[in-house]
Every structure is written in structure tokens, then in C-alpha cells.
Amino acid sequence: MTTTSPKARGPLSGTVLAMLAAGPPGSGGPLAPPGPDTDPWGEDHQLALHLCYELHDRGLPGVDPDWEWDPALLAFRRELEQPFLAAVRAEAEPVRPVGAALERLLIEPADGTGPSHFLLAEGERWQAREYLVHRSVYHLKEADPQLWMVPRVHGPAQAALMAVAYDEYGAGRSDRAHALLFARMMADLGLDPRYGHYLDHVPAPALAVVNLMTLFGLHRALRGAAVGLFAVVEVTSSPGSARLAAALERLGAGSDGTLFYREHIEADAVHEQLMRRGVVGELLATEGELEPDIAFGIAATEVVDDRFAAHLLKHWRAGRSSLRSPLPDGPGHAAPR
């Protein structure tokens, strides 16, 4: 469960928080939908959506669990989802056939400029700590959003998907669960590893990455997109994980501070094959009509990932914190008097 109650970032998230704080769900009327001028990429919209989704994950402090299926809140969530999905579709450029789209992801550009490249080449410790805070919104739950896919694919594709998920949760060893390894990494770098602790620090671009995963996972109609998203995560993870492990080691992380990414170097090299051939390949062979949705999921993932990367690099290259509230060692942090 999120450790603290987050603060509203505008009328949408304020509406959700006020509803949830009012007590058990009642029989009230529908909520006013977001206005036409609402930015679906904005702080208020993304936090409101994230709060709705957390009711399906670990919940929110002091919130009655019956809110998860409250009709009024579900209708409001749908009004948040539709413009977000439309905004993603407007920027996504699906590539078909899907095999070609995944092959393209395997080839990294020689002049890579993403956050892992930056952290390895010139990153400072405060920037690495910020990166972990951003990613904690996802990695402290690791593959939870993807598990909603399991009952929606069948046969060999389901078996391959479960093989990947089994590793994500420690392959039968709770101490090797990837979410726990990420928490240990945060602690090694002096961060609080509690679930949801940094939610108020994390800006919209990082929330959008996780919100897209949950959106795809929760809707059976988007199961093909969910598969495409998960494929991108596994296909692109290994090289970036190698850079991040090296960067963290360079910046003084201990063994716990690099284990999460070192684990992903080897594991995701195997997962890449399982996802490409065992999941995507099998689905295309048995349910070829899903190819446009899988292609969209791949392209949509690139949209949110690119937006997140651009946010980080814009702030870091300017010497500014990329968080809504800087950490104690970050620029702009006000020292206590």
C-alpha cells in the first residue's frame, strides 16, 4: 500500500482524493467528466488516473477497498482513460509486421542518448538517485500490471508468458523477487524503499509510463497492446540494465545497489527470446488479428518512454532536479534552517 496520502495536483486528482476520503462508497450521482481543455499528459490528469489504478493494486491509505468497483468512480476513470489513450494514439507510429518492429528495437543506435547512456557517461549520484525514485513507481510492483494478461492469452503463449513472470517474482525464491531487489537497491543508495513513498515527488512523465501499463493490462480489448508493451520491456532491457549497473557502480553503489540491474542483464536476454517467439510469435500464429494491437502497444510504449527520457535529460542537462520536489542532495533543495 502507498505509505502516505498523496497531495492533489489539480481539480481531477482533488476530486478523486475527496471521494476516497469521504468514507465507504455510496450511491451518489456521476462525477463531472474532465473538461475538453484538460491536458491528458499533465500532472493532474496522470495523478488522478494513477490513484484510480492503485485501487486495483495495493490500495491507498485509509481508503475503503470497496471503492475499487464503485460505478461512479469507474465511470470517471473511463473519462480519464479515453483522452489519455487518444493522446498516445496521436503520437504512436506502429510498425508492421510486428517482427520487424521488434527487430528494430534490438538494434541500438550508435549515438545512444537515453538516460542510461547519460548516467553511465556523465551522471552524478543525485541524478542516479532521482532515476530510482522515478522508476520506483513501477519497479516496486515490477510485473504486476502485466499479470492481468495471463488469463487473456492461451496455449503456448500463456506458458511462455508465465515463464517470464516466474522469473520476475524470483523463480520460487522470495528473496530474489525483482521488486525486492529494487527496494534493496534504493536502500543501498540512501532512499526510502517503501511502496509509494515518493509518489508526490514523481512527475507526470514517469506516472504515464506506469499508467499505460495498467491501462493495457486492465482492458481485455487492449490485450494485444499489453503484449506489445511487455515485449518492448523485455527486448530493450538487457543493454540498458548493463549500462545502469555500470553507472551505479561508478557512482559508489554497493553490491545491493547494482544487483537489480545485473540480474536483468542475463534474465532479460532470455526473456527477450521468450517474448518474441514464445508469446508474440505464438499469438500471431493463432490470433493473427491481434497484430495491429500488438504493433500499437510497441509504438505506444516508445511514446511514453521517449517522453519520460526527454523529461529527465532536459532537466539534468540544465542542472535541475527532474522531480517535483528535489531530494536532499539534489539541486534546488532547500536546506533546513
**Is the separation of the CB atoms in 4 and 37 below 8 Å?**
no
Task: Please tell me whether residues 281 and 145 are part of one structural domain.
Answer: yes
Task: Please tell me whether residues 165 and 255 are part of one structural domain.
Answer: yes
Whether the predicted model's global pTM rises above the 0.85 cut = yes
Task: Specify the pLDDT at position 246.
Answer: 97
Classify residue 332: in a domain, yes or no.
no
Q: Give me the helices (H) in the chain, please.
A: 11-21, 43-54, 71-91, 98-106, 115-121, 125-139, 144-147, 156-168, 178-188, 204-218, 223-250, 256-273, 282-286, 291-317
3-state secondary structure (DSSP) of residue 239: helix
Distance (Å, whole) CA 84 – CA 104 = 26
Task: Please tell me whether residues 141 and 240 are part of one structural domain.
Answer: yes
Q: What is the pLDDT of residues 99-128, one digit of tens each?
A: 999 888 888 776 788 999 999 999 999 999
Task: Please tell me whether residues 117 and 262 are part of one structural domain.
Answer: yes
**Is the separation of the CB atoms in 259 and 189 below 8 Å?**
no
3-state secondary structure (DSSP) of residue 78: helix
Task: Please tell me whether residues 145 and 249 are part of one structural domain.
Answer: yes
C-alpha separations of 107 from 101, 102, 110, 120 in Å = 11, 9, 9, 19
Classify residue 337: in a domain, yes or no.
no
Measured over the CA atoms of residue 319, residue 324, residue 325 and residue 329, the dihedral's sign is: negative
**Is the separation of the CB atoms in 45 and 38 below 8 Å?**
yes
Spatial CA neighbour of 87 closest among 314, 304, 268: 304
Task: Please tell me whether residues 109 and 37 are part of one structural domain.
Answer: no
Distance (Å, whole) CA 299 – CA 301 = 5
Q: What is the pLDDT of residues 7-56, one digit of tens each?
A: 999 999 999 999 898 888 875 556 777 777 789 999 999 999 999 999 99
> What is the CATH number for 255?
1.20.910.10
Task: Find the radius of gyration of the CA atoms of the chain.
Answer: 20
Give CA torsion, residues 328, 329, 333, 337, to 10 deg.
Answer: 60
Q: Which cell goes with 112?
A: 545512444
Distance (Å, whole) CA 76 – CA 98 = 34
Classify residue 260: in a domain, yes or no.
yes
Q: For the chain, what is the domain count?
A: 2
Q: What is the pLDDT of residues 144-199, one digit of tens each?
A: 998 999 999 999 999 999 999 998 899 999 999 999 999 999 999 999 999 999 99
Cβ contacts of 208 within 8 Å, gap of 6 or more: 41, 46, 84, 304, 307, 308
Classify residue 113: in a domain, yes or no.
yes
* Domain span holding position 283: 95-317
> pLDDT band at residue 207, thresholds of 50, 70 and 90?
very high
